[in-house]
Amino acid sequence: MPLVSMKDMLNKALEGKYAVGQYNINNLEWTHAILEAAEEEKSPVILGVSEGAARYMGGFNTVVKMVQGLIEDLKITVPVAIHLDHGSSVEKCKEAIDAGFTSVMIDDSHSPIDTNIATTKQVVEYAHAKGVSVEAEVGMVGGQEDDVIGDVMYAKLDDCVRIVNETGIDTLAPALGSVHGPYKGEPNLGFKEMEEIRNAVSLPLVLHGGTGIPTHDIKKAISLGTSKINVNTENQIEFSKAVREVLAAKPEAYDPRTFLKPGREAIKQTVIGKIREFGSNNKA
């Protein structure tokens, strides 16, 4: 199945009251595991690629060709979107689109809202002409993920309405208390604000920093219009744990497959759990 944009899968998720996971990829092991999990669970899936991860893997073109090759060789039949996570500029978004990404996030949330809207509008015009979906962010998600570092700053309702109405984006990430990376203490999401935004805009909402949020909060967020949930840290933690266990038990091991395969399986099982938690299983 060819790569698809996020637009249809997220609109279906919004209507069906479930969420599609974005699982960030770091290499072939990650991609293989996530695609296998999605296929087994018959779930649509979004492969998130940060600019840092793309650089690590060699570049946008390499990432797209790797994903396409795995889809063909693993006989993946579920819808797969490849999404630029936290695109830092119009130029980077265009570069990803030209390489074959089917979705991009332009993150100009650190700028004043007028600048954020102007930047996002440029990306939307370029992306939509090529059938590519666009995500934008309002407010600031806390914590750190690759090149993205920020304090929590809640999205303002008026800013959310403006960016939706003035740019034509396909999905909106309003910052409402979630953070990238592990949470220090209990997550405290702004559900009241989430509901107000949901009632004011008709788009699927995105929750960044999905690792560590309790299931009851995930379910509540989905009921309030959250249709895309991003997961990265949890897969990194489970992969690292599995690799450490193998190397501790077999300190003389040197064939990378000896420890990478258990790491890959740990990611796969984590993603299967998330797919079921988000309710996207059997929705492909």
Binding positions: 86, 107, 137, 180-181, 208-211, 230-233
- CA distance linking residue 28 with residue 154, whole number of Å: 35
Q: Which residues pair with 85 in a beta bridge?
A: 50
- CA distance linking residue 175 with residue 137, whole number of Å: 7
Q: Which residues are annotated binding-site positions for dihydroxyacetone phosphate?
A: 181, 209-211, 230-233
Per the structure block, which two tokens stand in for 250?
A: 């077999």
* Catalytic choice (73, 85, 98, 158): 85
85 is annotated as an active-site residue? yes
Determine the 3-state secondary structure of 148 from DSSP: strand
Name the amino acid, one letter, at 157. Answer: L
Q: Which residues contact 79 (CB under 8 A, 6 or more apart)?
A: 1, 4, 8, 9, 44, 45, 284
| Intra-chain end-to-end CA distance of the chain, in Å | 12
Q: What angle do CA 236, 239, 244 make, to 5 degrees?
A: 120
Catalytic residues: 85
